[in-house]
Amino acid sequence: MTEQKSRAQQLVGDVAPKLAELTDGVLFGDVWARPELSARDRSLVTVAALTALGRTDQLRSHLNLALDNGVTQDELAEVATHLAFYAGWPAGMTAATTLKRVLEDR
């Protein structure tokens, strides 16, 4: 039986195995598992941060994760709209168009 590779392993495991290991073990194995915030809340915070920083490659994955964690399409659209005023119009528009593509692909 073949073990399913994590998303980090799929993305960078062949070129940066330690980074993939840290992503799996520390980020998702520890930080995301802490009880002080729910996975849903962590998704909202992460989507907001990635939007504000313009990290579109990671935003796509985290929008999918947010939807899986119970954040609604309307809430994610509102995050994009709200952040347009705080992180800049291009950041909000990029988040909205990325959300649109994510939803079309789901």
Q: How far apart are CA 70 and CA 84, in angstroms?
A: 23
Q: What is the pLDDT of residue 3?
A: 80
Q: What is the pLDDT of residues 52-62, one digit of tens each?
A: 999 999 999 99
State the residue for tokens 């909202």: 44
Average pLDDT, the chain: 96
Please say whether the structural domain 38-105 has been given the CATH code 1.10.1740.10.
no
Q: What is the pLDDT of residues 77-102, one digit of tens each?
A: 999 999 999 999 999 999 999 999 99
Q: How far apart are CA 22 and CA 67, in angstroms?
A: 24
Cα-based torsion angle of the residue sequence 75, 45, 39, 12 in order, rounded to the nearest 10 degrees: 110
Closest C-alpha among 58, 34, 33, 29 to residue 46: 58
pLDDT > 90: what percent of the chain? 96
Q: What is the pLDDT of residue 1?
A: 64
Domain locations in the chain as residue ranges: 1-34, 38-105
Q: Specify whether the CB–CB gap between 97 and 54 falls below 8 A.
A: no
Q: Specify whether the CB–CB gap between 76 and 99 falls below 8 A.
A: yes
Closest C-alpha among 62, 64, 56 to residue 93: 56
Residues in the chain: 106
Q: What is the pLDDT of residue 26?
A: 97
